[in-house]
Homo-oligomer: A and B are copies of this chain.
């Protein structure tokens, strides 16, 4: 179970509304390679991981990705909270406003609801961890794209933090994959 701690993992203090940029941030809030995808993939995979270490690793990172998801949600909220309907419309979010108002819904920038079809949860630890490494690379690339779409330092700072965390996760998944492969080899040697 989880205890909520009333604090964001990284502070979000958006300096000025930017509805258009809010839209792009949905990519990492509810898109295919989003923090939601990552947290759901890791937290579900952990049930069947074969060692306590890999269970704990997926649990830790999955829980952190939830905090990342919350950061994105807070950014979208701050970027849009003062926008009028006309401003939403002018910035290309008229469709969004018509459908969801200013709710912070789990979707991609172009409006597709999040689906677990984006992720995979198996009980093959090698396939799972390979898929997790790929997830981190896709998220890393996503943050690089998002940073290229704005010059606002108050937006870039949390994105840079999140990007850096994905690189760390990638490395930790890589180490776990080597450990698991060693376990497999040893079990095989034992017969």
| B4, B24, B98: the one within 8 Å of A145 (CB) | B98
Give chain A's interface secondary structure class: helix
What residues of chain B lie closer than 8 Å to A137, measured between beta carbons?
A: 124, 126-127, 130-131
Contact-size category for A: 35 or more
Kindly state the separation between the CA atoms of A122 and B145 in the bound complex, as whole angstroms. 11
Contact A99 B138 (CB under 8 A): no
What residues of chain B lie closer than 8 Å to A2, measured between beta carbons?
A: 2-5, 63, 66-67
Interface-central residue, A94, A110, A112, by most chain B CB under 10 Å: A110
Contact B109 A112 (CB under 8 A): no
With known contacts A95-B110, A127-B140, A116–B73 Cβ distance under 8 A: no
With known contacts A111-B110, A133-B134, A117–B32 Cβ distance under 8 A: yes
With known contacts A107-B116, A116-B30, A1–B123 Cβ distance under 8 A: no
What are 28 A-B residue pairs whose CB atoms fall within 8 Å in the complex? A1-B66, A2-B3, A2-B4, A2-B5, A2-B67, A3-B5, A4-B63, A23-B98, A40-B106, A44-B103, A47-B104, A48-B102, A48-B104, A85-B148, A99-B109, A99-B110, A103-B120, A103-B128, A106-B116, A110-B111, A111-B111, A112-B113, A118-B118, A122-B138, A122-B141, A124-B144, A127-B134, A130-B138
Instruction: Name 16 extra pairs, CB < 8 A, besides A1-B8, A47-B104, A126-B141.
Output: A1-B4, A1-B70, A2-B63, A2-B67, A31-B98, A40-B106, A44-B73, A44-B104, A48-B81, A94-B109, A97-B149, A101-B141, A101-B145, A103-B121, A127-B138, A127-B140
